[in-house]
Amino acid sequence: MKLKSSFHREDADEHTPEISHSRRSFLTATGAAIAAAVAVPIAAAQEQTHVPRSPDHHFPNEQQPGPSNTVQDKLEPDSVWAPETDGGTVPPFKYSFDLAHKEIDSGGWTRQVTVRELAVSKTMAGVEMRLIAGGVRELHWHVSAEWAFMIYGSARITAVDPEGKAFVNDVHEGDLWLFPGGLPHSIQGLGPDGCKFLLVFNQGDFDEFSTFLLSDWFKHTPKEVLAKNFNTPEATFDKLPKEKLYIFATDEPRSLQEEQEQTAQGTGAIHEKFVFRPGAMKPTKVTAGGEVKIIDNKVFPVTNIAAALVRLKPGGLRELHWHPLAPEWQYYVSGKGRMTIFEAGAKARTMDFTTGDVGYIDISRPHYIENTGDEDLVFIELFPLGEYQDISATEWLAHTPRRLVNEHLNTGEDFLRSLPKKETVVVPL
């Protein structure tokens, strides 16, 4: 009975302190043993946090046995061998126009990158178009605004505003234009070799192959209605095209002066309103590493799509920054580079870019772009609103108390004191 009572909780706690002490010693020893056992795999795991990596990726844990896509690997070195600072899962933020379906017509060709091709690009879409000399992108309009950049050659562009005022002008390599949503317009290639240009729309699901076309509209309107509307015999419309024209070949336009004078009759003209020529503009920011020209509604009042034309010299860096007002849609004109995007939750991804690639950064995601080639990297940043705004990491830290920043980063206040007080935009070499 005494033995039985010695293991009863009340007896053990109140009447047999020596047994209680033994039990506590046992539990303490057991806990220490368990802790030691658990500490072994934790320590082993901690030792594994430094994963061995080699510059040429020859370690066994880096090798890719079996067949591999060596061509793609060369195009995407930072996807195949991501920087050690990358981590987590960040959706792809790149798509190449070279992968897009190209529709070829008698007057040229076109292809597009929309949210259907690049899933993250929910607010903007882009189109590449080539017109031969005389080739016409027929009279049309669409719901979203059209921002355009001339990549090559020359074109005649036309439009009519809601007051009936005429716009007719010629654009050349490096020029851009903006047609607001709902504004009817056209584009025609000029000699000697037509043109190639980029179109950008502030609508992610835009479809270049489903726009409001003049020939398509009239084909689907009864001839008696057309005759009544224009006060003319029905026979006037006997030769309407049986199919939409879209991109078609024809003669080059008449002289610019003649067409400007003809279209302005009765209502007047606005022949400069929708065109902007960045070649006549001084860079917004220039350093030894390159330059940037910011074109928003402060300098181009009609635009509701802001843009930055960026040129990075070899080794140059578009500094660490983010855009607080809107996502960013990019087009790479020439050169080679790489971009890293950081996402909340310790996630980051680096991808490589070259001519004809499209990039997309969601709103407020910090990122940078680096020239990794041996020639200038030229790209365009575009935003689905008229105002351009960014925040740079350098400017943020330079205007936060040095004591506070140093408590976060442990860089020392001398480094923080040396930071430029205004954003660099393009970091010198």
Q: Which residues contact 165 (CB under 8 A, 6 or more apart)?
A: 264, 267, 268, 269, 270
Block residue for tokens 């980029």: 198
DSSP structural state of residue 71: H
Residue 101 marked in a binding site? no
Backbone angles phi, psi at 352, to 5 degrees: -100, 145
The percent helix, strand, coil of the chain (3-state, each to 5) is 25, 30, 45
Alpha helices in 58-157 (DSSP H): 70-75, 77-80
CB 62 within 8 A of CB 54: yes
* Rounded-to-integer distance, Cα 114 and Cα 123, Å: 9
399 annotated as belonging to a binding site for a ligand: no
Q: Rounded to an integer, what distance in angstroms lies between the CA atom of residue 109 and that of residue 90? A: 33
Residue 321, marked binder: yes
Residue 146 marked in a binding site: yes
CA 173/CA 157 separation, integer angstroms: 14
220 is in an annotated binding site: no
The answer to the question of whether 50 is labelled as a binding residue is no
What would the two tokens of residue 399 be?
């205007």
Dihedrals phi, psi of 40, to nearest 5 degrees: -65, -55
Neighbours of 296 (CB within 10 A): 19
Q: Phi first, then psi: what are they for 296, rounded to 5°?
A: -130, -165
Residue 8 annotated as binding?
Answer: no
Name the catalytic one among 381, 395, 407, 413.
381
Give the CA-trace dihedral at 402, 397, 324, 151, to 10 degrees. Answer: 170
- Asked whether residue 57 is marked as a ligand-binding residue, the answer is no
Q: Pick from 416, 353, 276: which is nearest to 78 by CA?
A: 353
Whether 272 is catalytic is no
| Residue 181 burial (C-beta neighbours within 10 Å; 0-12, 13-18, 19+) | middle
Measured CA distances, 79 to 97, 140, 205, 353 (Å): 19, 41, 27, 11
What one-character-per-residue DSSP string does 397-416 give? HHTS-HHHHHHHH---HHHH
Residue ranges of the annotated binding site for Mn(2+) are 140, 142, 146, 185, 321, 323, 328, 367
Q: Which residues are catalytic?
A: 381
Residue ranges of the annotated binding site are 140, 142, 146, 185, 321, 323, 328, 367
